[in-house]
Chain A
Amino acid sequence: MELQQGIFILMGLAMIIAAGLAMHVKDLISSIIAVGVVSLFASLLYLLMQAPDVAMTEAAIGAGLSTLIFLYALHKTKDVEEEND
């Protein structure tokens, strides 16, 4: 039980770090990949918390398809964020 809670906390921290990276990285492709990493850890957490149905959806849609859709959307715009403040 202790070990499992430790794993949960570690994964939650990894999700927070990846989400922070997604906001702070200047390169938008890295940012999209970081968002995908958040989804991947979320799906692993769902699996560990005995929700395999939700984990499958999160892995396929959150980590897979939406990352690619973001990449396609990025491809149609510019790939560097512009500073305007």
Chain B
Amino acid sequence: MIKRIIPAILVISIFFMLLKVMTNITPKYDLTGVSKTYAEQGASDLGAMNLVTAIVVTYRGLDTLGEVAVLFMAGTGIALLLRRKKKKKGSVAKKREASEILQTGSKLLVPIIMMFGAYIFINGHLSPGGGFQGGAAIASAVMLMFLADNSFKINHKVFGLIESLSGMFYVIIGILGLVMIGADHFLDSRLLPLGEFGKILSAGTIPIIYTLVGLKVGTELASIIDNMKGDLE
């Protein structure tokens, strides 16, 4: 009985708290403070059509680096905890084959999803999306391959190499900003010329950084899925 009463009281009190917040809220339709500065100067400062990307990669570049580091820690932790064990001899676990529809469909869809993921992060400064979204799309293509083919394995050496190299180059680009532009310009995207607004080769280093982030996130999420799957080798 008491197990039901306490949650009920909690839920009702949260309801009243939220009601208080909801009745006191006044919607803001004008940009103020830092968001106004970003909206007014972002395009001319950084040359990125997608303002979200300009904020994520340049103004808040350090936060993005932290996010990439968090994802790396999560991937490493999962790999450490769910490490594959060697299969004992004689215990051949037979798995059900994927259905014909899934196998044929994945053959058709995997290249398209991969291409779409690469498109998302290469066009991060022009259209919605960016490194994280593109990387997740690529990882979902890898996921489809896992689902369609029981014996599919990813090449851990190649994946680890791509992941660590892209992470390294990301930090190197950040440090180059410090060296070439000056102090407090870590991860500044104005290392390269801003180019013509709206073209694919524009906005300084934003496309390069997002390509690196996309590769890193894609390989990391694919490795996480691989470790979660945790087949015996």
- Give A residues with C-beta under 8 Å from B: 52-53, 55-57, 60-61, 64-65, 68-69, 72-73, 76, 85
User: Does B177 lie at the interface of the complex (its beta carbon under 8 Å from any beta carbon of A)?
Assistant: no
Chain A residues, Cβ within 8 Å of B140? 60, 64-65
Once the chains bind, are B132 and A64 in contact (CB under 8 Å)?
A: no
Interface range, B side: 20 to 34
Complex A-B: 26 CB contacts under 8 Å = A52-B128, A53-B50, A53-B52, A53-B129, A55-B128, A56-B120, A56-B129, A57-B132, A60-B136, A60-B140, A61-B136, A64-B136, A64-B143, A65-B136, A65-B143, A65-B221, A68-B143, A68-B225, A69-B224, A69-B228, A72-B225, A72-B229, A72-B230, A73-B228, A76-B230, A85-B3
- Give B residues with C-beta under 8 Å from A: 3, 50, 52, 120, 128-130, 132-133, 136-137, 139-140, 143, 147, 221, 224-225, 228-230
Chain A residues, Cβ within 8 Å of B143? 64-65, 68
Chain B residues, Cβ within 8 Å of A60? 133, 136-137, 139-140
